[in-house]
Structure 1
Amino acid sequence: MRAAMLNAGLARARALALTLLITLPAPAGLAQVVEAAPLDDLIAAATAGGPLAQRKLGQRYHDGDGVLQNFATAAQWFGRAAEAGDAEAQNRLGRYYHSGLGYEHDPDRARHWLEAAAAQGDPDHIFDLAAVLEPSDPEQAAALYAQAADAGHMDAAVSLGVLFQNGNGVTQDTARALQLYEAPAAVGHPRAQNNLGLLYVRGTGAPQDYDRAAKLFAAAADQGLGTAMTNLGVMYENGFGVPQSDDEAARLYRMAGELERTEADAAQAFVYDARLQPLDPGMLSGVARMARTGDPVAQFQLGWALVSAEAPQPPHWAQAARLFQAAADRGHAPSMTNLGLLYVRGLGVPQDYVLGQMWLVLAATAGLPDATLSSSALRRKMTPEQINEAQSRATQAWQKAQEDAIVFDIR
């Protein structure tokens, strides 16, 4: 009876594996990660010189939206649209030169393109130029923040308030800072609420008001601002504007600390293929046999069993890496994600952010939101050079897969 059930389970698993492969695009369609006509039309329009199409195609490559994410390719299309006068493309191109993504870091070219975009009057672009100039030219940044704030840009008003609060680029004026924070805080801007609360705690720019400060910190904390959670905790610890409570203070401090850890943990959590039923432990031996035959679904399941086990040991991580590698090489997207995370965490393989990002970019292109989250989180730990190298390697891997007629597991 048990053997019959095992055989039936293995048959279902094998049928699922075949179904996954049969229903995917044909090998020649590996690069067709969106419906052919819309992408082809966009490429044709961009190649013909349409600035809007060029910018939209650049954005697709920037986001990895239906195409392999590649900032260098995005920069090329943004550059063409920018030369034609597209303000959004000029802004994007300036930010690329500023960050060193897609192109080498070039402050002069960054400023040139950011100024070109800002000159066309979009408050978002004026704000972006101000933010880039603030460290080196706070006086000019203040003037630009004021221009954007006058046009209703809330972030610009808050940033200008910070300059007035600190006397950076302008004469220090806490009353003016408070005035600038008031309007954004009233409509729920968490950074404005937190900064305004600090002014009321200190009694600078306005009479000291612990009650109002506590309410502002609470409003910002409710929106997930960790700094405001800490500040509200201080209020409870000291009984300022709220009943004194060491327990509530401790809870808020924990929340602030856990907020960052939770985001980091989510970005490094291994993923299971949502299309598969949970793996029955009784089927492991059969799954292992299927994995040895090269079945990518079985390889993934066996790798998952190893990484999700209680307290895996180094040999388990190494074996899981080999299994995920084998399945990833066959185009299995969840395996790509998990292999990338093993490289990020240095489990079973040497820690390598470039290879980790390469696999996450490939998995994200195949349509896995978890891979997109992990890729974005990892970029914050990488240098621009590492990011550019990872995307270049992903492009090379994608092209090799085309040559080898490997079908990616596209969602």
Structure 2
Amino acid sequence: MNIRKAVKIATVVGLLCQLPPLAAQDAGLMERARSGDPVAQTELGYVYAVGDGVEQNFPEALKWFLAGTRQGYADAQYNYGNMFANGFGVPQDLSEALNWYRLAAAQNHMRAQYNLGFMYDNAQGVEQDYAEAAKWYRAAAEQGHSAAQNALGVMYKYGYGVSQDYAEALKWLKISAESGYPTGQFNLGAMYVNATGVDQDYAEAARWYEQAASRGNLSAQFSLADMYIAGHGVERNYPRAGELYLAAARQGHSEAQYNIGEMYAAGYGVEQSYVLGYMWAEISSRTSDVFHRSRANRNRDAMTQQMSQEQVAEAKALASRCLDSGYRDCKP
């Protein structure tokens, strides 16, 4: 299950359903909402939920979303569910969110279908049920939801809720990848690396990893860096590997943090710096599991033989500053 989690999508309900911009500047919006127009009620709820031209006001957003739900409007049901899923203006209640997603999904609301699939997949507000997850992922995927297409591909790859079928996995991952979804691009690349349902093709894998990495996918950044180190599917290029490890490290990828630390210590592809090498090894130690932490500690401690006490103190301070800043301030 841990392997699967590494290639899964990250969250169930990040954002409210986006609506046309400048809704707050529409002088007639309030009037239409008060007159009972469910579309206007939902738009007004969104305006208050995100603070679009007005002060953010979750209770007011809830009021207008609820008004829309009373008329059976799917977008209102979906957004009202999101408020409960995220705890916006109400205590977080995943079971309540699930109920509203079900209502919207029954009306073919694509995002609600995806969220339902995710919740069944990950036991959020409901008992885990892979078959039910696959059902809702498929419903959303067939409407063009790229994250659902990726998720359905992963279900087929591992045989969760469906019969394992690499051809179907490849089909859905390719559709997701071609839509520009970075997780789908990474997962498709992994199929080519591991010869899962296709002949092994490092060049094709690198092509998809490159696209995902350029969109900020940290797993793709890390895996593509490995390919540049090994020369698999691409020409060996240590500077490019260093750039990619660093990009993933700044997103919290502990193995990338370890690797870029080694590169700084040795001067491979980057300007040699024991201070930065120690810093990244220390960060990797703090963010890793037990096995990888001990490895990072050994690497970090070995560097101290080449460093002054002042440099070690500087590196420790840098590591703390880097972590405290959310990886925004990691330079000496």
Shorter-chain TM band: 0.5 to 0.7
2:208 aligned partner: 216
2:62 maps to 1:75: yes
Q: Is the 8 A contact 2:23 2:29 kept in 1?
A: no
- Secondary structure at the aligned position of 1:134 is classed as helix
1:157 aligned partner: 149
Cα deviation code 1:332-388 (max 9, x no counterpart): xxxxxxxxxxxxxxxxxxxxxxxxxxxxxxxxxxxxxxxxxxxxx9xxxxxxxxxxx
1:255 aligned partner: 247
Structure 2 letter corresponding to 1:245? N
Give, in whole Å, the separation in 2 of the partners of 1:190 and 1:65: 28
Give, in whole Å, the separation in 1 of the partners of 2:96 and 2:157: 31
**Which structure has the larger Rg?**
1
Matches within 5 A, 1:377-392: none
Cα deviation code 1:91-133 (max 9, x no counterpart): 0111222222222223332222111111111323322322233
Matches within 5 A, 1:229-308: 229-258=221-250
Give, in whole Å, the separation in 1 of the partners of 2:228 and 2:25: 59
Cα deviation code 1:309-340 (max 9, x no counterpart): xxxxxxxxxxxxxxxxxxxxxxxxxxxxxxxx
Q: Offset at 1:38?
A: 4.0
For 2:113, which of 126, 131, 134 is the aligned residue?
Answer: 126
For 2:33, which of 34, 43, 46 is the aligned residue?
Answer: 46
Q: Which consecutive unaligned segments of at least 5 residues does structure 1 have?
A: 1-33, 262-376, 378-411
Cα deviation code 1:1-46 (max 9, x no counterpart): xxxxxxxxxxxxxxxxxxxxxxxxxxxxxxxxx999845x433332
Work out the number of aligned pairs and report it. Answer: 228
Q: Which moved more, 1:135-144 or 1:58-67?
A: 135-144
For 2:82, which of 95, 100, 125 is the aligned residue?
Answer: 95
Q: Is the 8 A contact 2:23 2:52 kept in 1?
A: no
Greater fraction helix: 1
Q: Is the 8 A contact 1:73 1:102 kept in 2?
A: no
Structure 2 letter corresponding to 1:125? A
Q: Is the 8 A contact 1:218 1:228 kept in 2?
A: yes
Residue 68 and residue 239 in structure 1: after superposition, are their counterparts in 2 closer, same or farther (change >3 A)? same
Q: Offset at 1:141?
A: 1.3
CA RMSD of aligned residues (A): 2.5
Q: Which consecutive unaligned segments of at least 5 residues does structure 2 have?
A: 1-21, 124-128, 254-325, 327-332
1:59 aligned partner: 46
Give, in whole Å, the separation in 2 of the partners of 1:36 and 1:54: 12
Residue 172 and residue 159 in structure 1: after superposition, are their counterparts in 2 closer, same or farther (change >3 A)? same
Give, in whole Å, the separation in 2 of the partners of 1:129 and 1:84: 21
Matches within 5 A, 1:164-179: 164-179=156-171
Residue 240 and residue 59 in structure 1: after superposition, are their counterparts in 2 closer, same or farther (change >3 A)? same
Structure 2 letter corresponding to 1:61? Y
Aligned residues with identical type, % of pairs: 37
Q: Is the 8 A contact 2:157 2:165 kept in 1?
A: yes
Matches within 5 A, 1:139-150: 139-150=131-142
Q: Is the 8 A contact 1:211 1:242 kept in 2?
A: yes
Normalised TM-score (structure 2): 0.63
Which structure would you say has the larger RCO, counting Cα contacts within 8 Å and 6 or more residues apart? 1
Q: Offset at 1:182?
A: 1.4
Q: Is the 8 A contact 2:46 2:61 kept in 1?
A: yes
Give, in whole Å, the separation in 2 of the partners of 1:226 and 1:107: 28
Q: Offset at 1:176?
A: 2.2
